[in-house]
Structure 1
Amino acid sequence: MNINTDHLKRCISTLRVAWEGLQQCEPGDVLYEIYRAACVKEFELVLDQSGRLLKRRLRPYFASNRQADQLYFNDVFRYAAKHCLIGGDACERWLEYRAARNDTAHEYTAVWLRHITPVAGRPRT
């Protein structure tokens, strides 16, 4: 099954550039606000696209495409780990990303950045 990941790759690339730009600015600076908004937007897009693409990849493991499409976000990652599409550590990391996002949903402030940075900035294993 071929899945087009171009949009996801673009979002990840944009998130990296926005994060690097944010690190070079001082809080309160206009550019800081622009980069922060870009980080929030791209982080949301990466989460969303990752879940959608994994749902498509999980379809063969269900009796129907509809069953896979009806999975809740967290279950998508759990099933992906169950079927060895991602590792257990990766699954936990994605669930942490989602929990961090849900804890701070629509809170586009420095508090959000302080909350999400330890999770999103953690090196992947």
Structure 2
Amino acid sequence: MALNVEHLLRTAATLEQALLALGRTPASEAVMFDLYRNAAIKSFELSLETAGKLLRKALKAYGGTPRAVDGLVFNDVLRHAGKHAIFDEQAVTRWLSYRANRNSTAHDYGEGFANETLTLLPGYLQDVRALAVKLQEVFDAAA
């Protein structure tokens, strides 16, 4: 089974650039600040969904039946990734937190919540890049 983490890494790069641009933009430039903040949050959402799809593929490589793996809810995908050492226990906890935040961003459009999400993103960026490396290792070993 082939795996390509390129899209995941590209979403991480997009997130990083949005965060850098946001850091250079004063809050007094409200429209540009909002634009970069929204780009960062959307990049986060997209990369999280991409990570979930890749994790499902990885779990199938560990012998899970495709139907059973496809039937898992996202949080169970994360827990199974921990059982197979794709994540350590602390990483599972962080990823569950990222997912909970993502679920909230889909329903809460307030500025305060958006700014709260921004505080998670530097750590998330490190985690998503580490996941890309780990997933590539899993699939290289399975090949």
When the two structures are superposed, what TM-score results if normalisation uses the length of structure 2? 0.77
Cα deviation, residue 112, structure 1: 2.5
Alignment of 1:45-124 (within 5 A): 45-122=46-123
8 Å CA contact 2:81, 2:87 repeated in 1: yes
8 Å CA contact 1:12, 1:42 repeated in 2: yes
What secondary structure sits across from 2:25 in the alignment? coil
Q: Which residue of 2 aligns with 1:39?
A: 40
How many Å separate the matches in 2 of 1:15 and 1:60? Answer: 28
Cα deviation, residue 119, structure 1: 2.5
* Number of positions where the alignment pairs a residue of Structure 1 with one of Structure 2: 125
Q: Percent identity?
A: 38
Q: Taking structure 1 as reference, are residues 63 and 10 closer, same or farther at Cα in structure 2, changes over 3 Å only?
A: closer
Q: Which residue of 2 aligns with 1:2?
A: 2
Structure with greater helix percent? 2
RCO higher in 1 or 2 (8 Å CA, sep ≥ 6)? Answer: 2
Structure 2: gaps of 5 or more residues: 128-143
Cα deviation, residue 120, structure 1: 2.5
Q: Which residue of 2 aligns with 1:11?
A: 11
How many Å separate the matches in 1 of 2:53 and 2:115? Answer: 27
What secondary structure sits across from 1:85 in the alignment? coil
Q: Taking structure 1 as reference, are residues 77 and 63 closer, same or farther at Cα in structure 2, changes over 3 Å only?
A: closer
When the two structures are superposed, what TM-score results if normalisation uses the length of structure 1? 0.87
How many Å separate the matches in 2 of 1:24 and 1:72? Answer: 38
Q: Taking structure 1 as reference, are residues 109 and 23 closer, same or farther at Cα in structure 2, changes over 3 Å only?
A: farther
Structure 1: gaps of 5 or more residues: none
8 Å CA contact 1:40, 1:108 repeated in 2: no
**CA RMSD, Structure 1 to Structure 2 (Å):** 2.0
Q: Judge which range, 61-70 or 46-55, deviates more.
A: 61-70
Query: Cα deviation per residue 1:78-125 (whole Å; 9 max; x = unaligned)?
Result: 000001112111111110011112223243443133221333334858
